């Protein structure tokens, strides 16, 4: 296993495979199938550890865990001009900024 393993793992059921699938968000091409969710998690964690060791050995890029990245709280999204106009109007009618409206919509909260 990795020391200080802070990667983002998830286990889901695969109806197609009839087994649990262990996944890692930072390594989307990796997965591990097992009959139990605990074994699927253990398997994908061990696989990630092997891949990280290989990447480090060959001095290749190792993804930073999402949990340790610093985020500014800003990102840019391109949308069609007519949608921009519609959202700006909606924000004005609600008496809030376009940023606030977009943030509320993204978080699925009402402004």
Q: What is the pTM of this model?
A: 0.74
54 and 101 part of one domain: no
Q: Which residue ranges of the chain lie beneath pLDDT 50?
A: 111
Q: Can you give the pLDDT at residue 109?
A: 58
Q: First-to-last CA distance in the chain?
A: 45
Chain centroid to CA 49: how far? Answer: 19
Distance, CA of 83 to CA of 110 (rounded, Å): 18
Q: What is the pLDDT of residue 1?
A: 77
Residue 31, pLDDT score: 98
Residue 1 within a domain: no
- 107's tokens: 């978080």
Do 58 and 16 share a structural domain? yes
DSSP reduced 3-state for 81: helix
Tell me the residue range of the domain where 101 lies. Answer: 71-106
Query: Residue 78's pLDDT is what?
Result: 96
Q: Which of 31, 26, 28, 53 is nearest to 41 (CA)?
A: 31
Q: How many domains does the chain have?
A: 2
Q: What is the DSSP letter of 6?
A: -
Give the count of beta carbons closer than 10 Å to the beta carbon of residue 54.
11
For residue 20, the model assigns a pLDDT of 98
d(CA 54, CA 30) in angstroms, rounded, equals 14
DSSP assignment of 8-55 = -EEEEEETTTTEEEEEETT-TT-EEEESSHHHHHHHHHHHHHHHHHHH
In this prediction, residue 110 carries a pLDDT of 55
User: Within a domain: residue 111?
Assistant: no
């Amino acid at each position: 296993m990795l020391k200080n393993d802070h990667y983002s793992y998830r286990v889901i059921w695969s109806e197609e495979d009839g087994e649990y699938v262990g996944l890692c968000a930072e390594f989307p091409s990796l997965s591990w199938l097992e009959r139990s969710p605990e074994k699927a998690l253990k398997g994908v964690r061990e696989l990630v550890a092997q891949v990280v060791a290989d990447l480090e050995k060959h001095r290749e890029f190792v993804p930073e865990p999402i949990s340790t990245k610093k985020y500014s709280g800003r990102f840019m999204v391109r949308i069609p001009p007519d949608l921009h106009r519609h959202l700006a109007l909606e924000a004005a009618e609600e008496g809030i900024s376009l940023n606030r409206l977009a943030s509320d919509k993204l978080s699925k909260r009402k402004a």
